[in-house]
Amino acid sequence: MKKPELLAPAGSFEKAKVAFEYGADSIYCGTSKLSLRSRVEIDDNELEKIIDYAHSIGKKVYVPLNIYARDSMYEDIKNQIKMLEKVKADAVIVSDGGIVNMVKEIAPSLEIHISTQTNVVSYHSSKFWYDNGAKRIILARELQKDELKEIMKNKPEDLEMEMFIHGAICYAYSGRCHLSDFLAGRGANLGDCAQSCRWAYNLYLEEKNNPGNMMPVEQDENGTYILSSKDMCLIKELPEIIDMGIDSLKIEGRLKTEYYLATIINTYRVAIDEYMKNPKEYDYRKYLTELEKTKTRGLTTFYFNDKNNKDIQEYEGKQYNPNYEFGGKVQEYGKEKSIIEIKNRLQIGDTLELIIPNKIEVCRFTIDKLWDAETDEPIEFVNPGKEGQKVKLNIPVEAKENWILRREKC
């Protein structure tokens, strides 16, 4: 049984460091202009910095270049491809055939991964891309497990397969959607999705024989989130996926917080490692409990087990687990006083959970003292008033830089 790669998102250098600290074998990140995430905090210099750091610790970086490009964009694309070859990106993620050809022509040393945006749902399609230079296929999210097994059985032997196991899904086919462009003038397939599917809508039925007689169809006082999807979670199905021989397991979320990344990446890291060591004792429930502490929406297995699965829509429009929030990030550990970059209000009496890399168990403790980070004077509470604001507190176990603290709100 082969251990799969755990592939995580990173929307900045700081997020990349957190992803690696919590067990990602590789990350995917791209610049804002050409990678379907116009709000990421990465430019060319930042990207090079991330790649250099990753390689220094034996990790990999895959760079999305997966827009559907207009002809006017190809000069920028050419420059980006040359830059990626120069900084030794481990792969480029592509969905447009024109960009595939350009990568092959001007940067043949760059490994090509075919984006999930290409909607590959068969081994026939996989072989097409393989014959056109692909090293890896990122399969469509909509596949069932029997279809995945068929692809794995019939694909070219040295063609790698990657699939999403956790994160946001789209009501459109693998994210190929025009709703945002239509409603907000922001093109989802050019990296600027307004997430129109997540908005609340007021729906009405009109009586055909009595035009103008509009009867509202409502779910709750916020409207109906009829297009909003739950988040994919395949922690229970992880053993089946590993047993199929899938090469890379992918987490969605380049725009998510460091707290989200630490929780999700660490949980899947431990789950993969423990299953590989002792398959018979795999118990998904302890991992699911941890994942649910930071879920952004309801969780679903999507179509993996059943094409007729109806448990997909997120009707409530909830965004976060109300019982937990991002508390802070360790900047410097000290036996008596550790320096913490705060992310939310902290006060004496608060319960915190330190997320420890490679462990599913957290270190849970209560804040008994706080000190001002600059004056070292005792304080009762601290509010986040500026970016990078810090405080000192005592952590009962040794902690490292970039470890994440979760604040319990209940």
Q: Which structural domains are found in the chain, ordered by start?
A: 5-169+229-300 (3.20.20.60), 324-408 (2.40.30.10)
Q: Which of 348, 349, 362 is nearest to 406 (CA)?
A: 362
pLDDT digits (tens, 9 = 90+) for 137-175: 999 999 999 999 999 999 999 999 999 999 988 766 566
> How confident is the model at residue 59, as a pLDDT?
98
pLDDT digits (tens, 9 = 90+) for 375-407: 999 999 999 988 889 999 999 999 999 999 999
Question: 């592939």: which residue's tokens?
Answer: 7
Q: Which of 321, 319, 314, 309 is nearest to 353 (CA)?
A: 321
> How confident is the model at residue 314, as a pLDDT?
75
Burial zone of 335 (CB within 10 Å; 0-12 exposed, 13-18 middle, 19+ buried): exposed
Q: Which of 252, 254, 234, 253 is nearest to 244 (CA)?
A: 234
Question: In the predicted model, is pLDDT for residue 368 greater than 80?
Answer: yes
If one compares 73 and 191, the residue with the highest pLDDT of the two is: 73
pLDDT digits (tens, 9 = 90+) for 275-331: 999 999 999 999 999 999 997 788 999 999 998 887 887 766 566 688 999 999 999
Q: Which residues, in sequence order, are bridge partners of residue 325?
A: 407
The pLDDT-based confidence of 84 (bands split at 50, 70, 90) is very high
- Provide the percentage of residues in the chain whose pLDDT is more than 90: 71
* CA torsion through residues 179, 234, 253, 57, sign: negative
* CA torsion through residues 192, 197, 199, 204, sign: positive
Give me the mean pLDDT over the 16-21 stretch.
98
> How confident is the model at residue 322, as a pLDDT?
86
Rounded to 5°, angle at Cα 119 from 115 and 123: 95
Average pLDDT, the chain: 89
pLDDT digits (tens, 9 = 90+) for 43-61: 889 999 999 999 999 999 9
Count of other CB atoms within 10 angstroms of residue 266: 26
> How confident is the model at residue 170, as a pLDDT?
76
Give me the mean pLDDT over the 250-261 stretch.
93
Question: In the predicted model, is pLDDT for residue 204 greater than 70?
Answer: no
373-406 as b/e: b if 16+ CB within 10 A? beeeeebeebebeeeeebbbbebeeebeebbbbb
